[in-house]
Amino acid sequence: MPFSKYFTIFLKTALFMFFCISQSGSVYADSKGAARHFDKILNQSASLRLFLQDFPKGADLHSHLSGVIYAENFIKWAAKDGKCVDLASHAIAFPPCDSAQGRPSVKSIENNDSIVNGIIDAFSTRNYERRPVSGHDQFFATFMRFSAAGAGRQGHMIAEATARAALQNILYLELMQSNGMGDARALAANDESFKSATKLEDLIKNKAMNKIVDDAILTTDQSEKDWKATLKCQDNAENPGCKTEVRYLAQVIRTFPPEQVLAQTILAYKLIEKDPRYVGLNFVAPEDHPVTLRDHRLQMEIIRDVGNHFPATNISLHAGELTLGLVPPEDLKSHINEAIHIAGARRIGHGIDIAYETQAQDLLNHMSENNIMVEINLTSNDVILGVKGDDHPFSLYRANNVPMALSTDDEGVSRIDLTHEYMRAARTYDLSYRDLKNFSRNALEYSFLEGNSLFQAPGSQKTVKACAKDQPKKNFLSKGCHLYLEKNKKAMMQWELEKRFVAFEKRF
């Protein structure tokens, strides 16, 4: 055999051995076929949608449960529940209904195309640009209009969220919801101890608050029971919507007086302490609301001070969902900083005004070095704030190695889904297939799922020692890896994501 052939064989063998060694303990192996196909179809909307619909997505971490619901389902539920609609505002109301007073039953108008379309527009940002109202005002106004329609339907809401997630190959949802928060606010409004100098530890022990906690947990129990019943999970456990993993963030409504925000925050911490389904807390409602602007620092201090009385808690906060013109420059300089450095946020929702923050570069460096992730909601930011494309800080975060994950915010209100957000990100910022895989992985890595990660460090594809010799493309696990995954739910979900990547990429 000629020397050149011996040398070629040697070179190929050496390269193969190097590849095997370099990939030891790693699950990172992009499919060249999938990447080539993605590059080919990036500017073909229908083909890209088809590709990304099935593309495995780790999680949606920024999703308000009531905002998930499409208007058509709210209308259907309101009709079945005997509720009414105010024809002037298109808001759903509780009975009694009165057609003569402009409050007919929803059932009586559910086939009236004109009225139904008016309700859909009122419950969402559909066609908002044709109306004399800003996207910001339209977005936030929807929640009061459909609130009554969702009453008693939380289990059906979870069913809609999980079923839609399953259709898009999403493994995990962290849903923000406010069980018990109205009762906590009422308690604070009527109990003078929340307004006085009562010691915080005494407020935490408040017996009425403990009752609210127990009731909120019972509500969650019933909601999950209804979710499973709606999808007929008992008879069809393989229904993908039944298998979608769900956890909750207790969401505090921050546009109320300080004592009511305090009571809600105590409830959130107590739910997290008592019920493992609650994996963190968040503060929600418009960040430009006068109360939020006035009390932002105080609210961050409330999170910190209440948190000092509880075990370490996961915190994700809406911060920086502001832009110049919506508020004065002075209101853009501190919210992200305060959320991180005072409240201890591990994730930031939106983060649009980062460039306006005082010492913004230092803040970006801190977020990068401490793995503080940003939940990116492109459509929401466009509609509410008018921020999109190069005006969005997406590229700034990316250039500074701040971790990001794509999320929907309120897919029903915006009439989108997570696949739409992956498409929008890919085409707007010329992302590669590898970039999308990183975003998908980030969503699980920075989730608040219980347990440790599959990976040695965030952003790494090197698996922990227990799974170093295991590969997702194989149908078996070593004993050590099996035990590790059993003990760590986050790692188990990450392993499942890698298996889904393998199955998806085999097509190409």
pLDDT of 130: 85
Check residue 31 and give its pLDDT.
83
The domain ranges of the chain are 3-45+454-505, 71-150, 153-283
The C-alpha atoms of residue 296 and residue 336 are separated, in whole angstroms, by: 10
| Total Cβ atoms within 10 A of residue 195 | 14
Distance of CA 173 to the CA centre of its chain: 7
Mean pLDDT, contiguous 10-residue spans, the chain (508 residues): 48 42 52 94 97 98 98 98 97 97 97 97 93 93 97 98 98 98 97 89 95 98 97 88 97 98 98 98 98 98 98 97 97 98 98 98 98 98 98 98 98 98 98 97 98 94 94 92 98 97 95
Quick check: bond before 96 cis, omega within 30?
A: yes
The phi and psi torsions of 406 (rounded to 5 degrees) equal -85, 140
DSSP E strand stretches across 127-214: 170-177
Tokens of 65: 């449960």
Q: What is the structure's pLDDT at 196?
A: 86
Close Cβ partners of 128 (under 8 Å, ≥ 6 residues apart): 121, 135, 138, 139, 383
Q: What DSSP state is assigned to residue 324?
A: B
Q: What is the pTM of this model?
A: 0.93
Q: Starting at the edge strand that comes first in sequence, how are the strands of the sheet with 404-406 ordered? A: 316-319, 347-350, 373-376, 404-406
